[in-house]
Amino acid sequence: MVVVRALASWQRRSLCATRQRRGAGNELLRQFSLKAIEADPNAQFGYIAMAWSYRNDAVFWHKQENNPDEALKHAAEYADKALQLAPDDANAHYAGARIHTEAGEVEQAIARYDQAIALNPSASNVLAGSASPLLFVGRIDEAIDRIKQAMGIDPFHPDWYHWDMGWALREKNDCEAALTAMRKMSRIPSGAHRMLAGIHACLGNQREAK
């Protein structure tokens, strides 16, 4: 199935170290997604993948001719189309939730996450991802609980679960536990150092924070 190749290619390349290769993976994701839509325009799968590709453009690799807001607009259109075709598809709601989060539409994001979780409560990535909008509105304990649930479902979960747990515990002012969570990551990505700096500052570790 073409869309499976698309998503598999994106997931594989997203683990690569270089921004260039990850960007190439996103372009390939879009090409395969368009083929999936052409092959079956009444199936939701290609539209979900297209929504992700434009979301990725907005967050990571937006081209100069397409600003992030425009990319998110396209992402939302594809996610909405997927939901029209398959309103009971948890992955369609998940894609919409992520796009609402990136757009700053927090309440809509929470509603989409809740629907996705209701449809597929075993999806650890959806549970962990839902912590972000919950933290934005101060529902810290709920966010921590969902990350813990996600970790319990998938003991081989990716490092970003620890990153989000560190963020949540920092919001709870439990900076010792936040630092412990961050140190569980197998590799600290560049974007996580800002979070680490705040945690060290919270602990009074001025040298490490600097």
Q: For position 5, what pLDDT does the model report?
A: 52
Number of separate domains in the chain: 1
Q: For position 171, what pLDDT does the model report?
A: 97
Q: Percent of the chain at pLDDT above 90? A: 75
Q: For position 170, what pLDDT does the model report?
A: 97
Indicate the pLDDT class of residue 197, thresholds 50, 70 and 90: very high
Is it the case that residue 78 has pLDDT exceeding 90? yes
Q: Which domain holds residue 55?
A: 2-120
Distance CA 111, CA 52 (A): 19
Entry pTM? 0.86
Is it the case that residue 66 has pLDDT exceeding 70? no
Taking every pair of Cα atoms in the chain, the longest distance, rounded to a whole number of angstroms, is 58
Q: For position 7, what pLDDT does the model report?
A: 55
Q: Which long-range contacts (CB under 8 A, 24 or more apart) does 77-86 make?
A: 78/47, 78/48, 78/50, 78/51, 78/54, 79/47, 79/48, 79/51, 81/44, 81/47, 82/44, 82/45, 82/47, 82/48, 82/51, 83/44, 85/42, 85/43, 85/44, 85/47, 86/43, 86/44
Q: For position 22, what pLDDT does the model report?
A: 60
Q: Is 162 inside a domain boundary?
A: no
Q: Is 83 inside a domain boundary?
A: yes
Q: Is 59 inside a domain boundary?
A: yes
Q: Which helix (H) or strand (E) holds 64?
A: none
Is it the case that residue 11 has pLDDT exceeding 70? no
Q: For position 64, what pLDDT does the model report?
A: 47
List pLDDT tens digits, range 16-62. Answer: 444 545 666 778 888 899 999 999 999 999 999 999 999 988 887 55
Contacts of 56 (CB under 8 A, 6+ apart): 10, 26, 29
Displacement of CA 78 from its chain's centroid (Å): 17
**What is the residue-averaged pLDDT of the chain?**
88
Q: For position 186, what pLDDT does the model report?
A: 93
Q: Is 84 inside a domain boundary?
A: yes
* Least confident segment among 28-32, 84-88, 132-136, 178-182: 28-32
Q: Is 25 inside a domain boundary?
A: yes
Q: For position 185, what pLDDT does the model report?
A: 95
Q: For position 25, what pLDDT does the model report?
A: 74
Distance CA 42, CA 36 (A): 10
Q: Is 155 inside a domain boundary?
A: no
Q: Is 16 inside a domain boundary?
A: yes
CATH number reported for the structural domain that contains residue 19 in this entry: 1.25.40.10
Q: Is 195 inside a domain boundary?
A: no
Give me 167's structure tokens: 């963020």
